[in-house]
Amino acid sequence: MTVQLVVLNGGSSSGKTGIVRCLQAVLPEPWLAFGVDDFVDALPAAMRDSDAGIEFKPDGDISVGPAFRKLDAAWVAGIVAMCRAGARVIVDDVFLGGAGSQQRWKDAAGDLDVLWVGVRCSADVATGRELARGDRVVGMAALQAEIVHDGVKYDLEVDTTHTESLDCARTIASHL
């Protein structure tokens, strides 16, 4: 199996982005990295805090609307197209819909070889990171810590509660 796409799923502030950076450093071949934050940052301002786009609620909950879903499907298809064109890609995502969110990636990937990685972190540790970052709605980390994993099937799981990003990246690299 020649993996072209690695999908990391974990809640907000679980350490996905740090793992991705370390993974790019330890892998012998170049891998592109994209995250759900890149996608959200690329959205027009009018889609933020709107029913059609993405809404970050004061308690940390997130809801997405039809315009968001349409663009998200295009983003996923674009990443898969890059893989089919020969690029190796690492994605960090937050499966707010659990198994349903994974299924949208599976449907788009088709027969592409994908490594599914669960990134776990205790809600308390993720909340501490969230507070230290200062760029997230407080409460997202705790709300997402477990729900993003509901029904999701992984090839590999790592836990950043007490493990550094580099060690997690090495575990993933050895699996590849």
Residue 34 CB: number of other CB atoms within 10 A? 17
Pairing of strands 5-9, 89-93: parallel
Q: Which are the catalytic amino acids?
A: 37
* DSSP codes joined into one string, 121-169: --HHHHHHHHHHH-SS-TTHHHHHHHHTTTT---SEEEE-SSS-HHHHH
Closest listed residue to residue 170, CA positions, set 2, 1, 22: 22
Q: One-letter amino acid identity for 18?
A: G
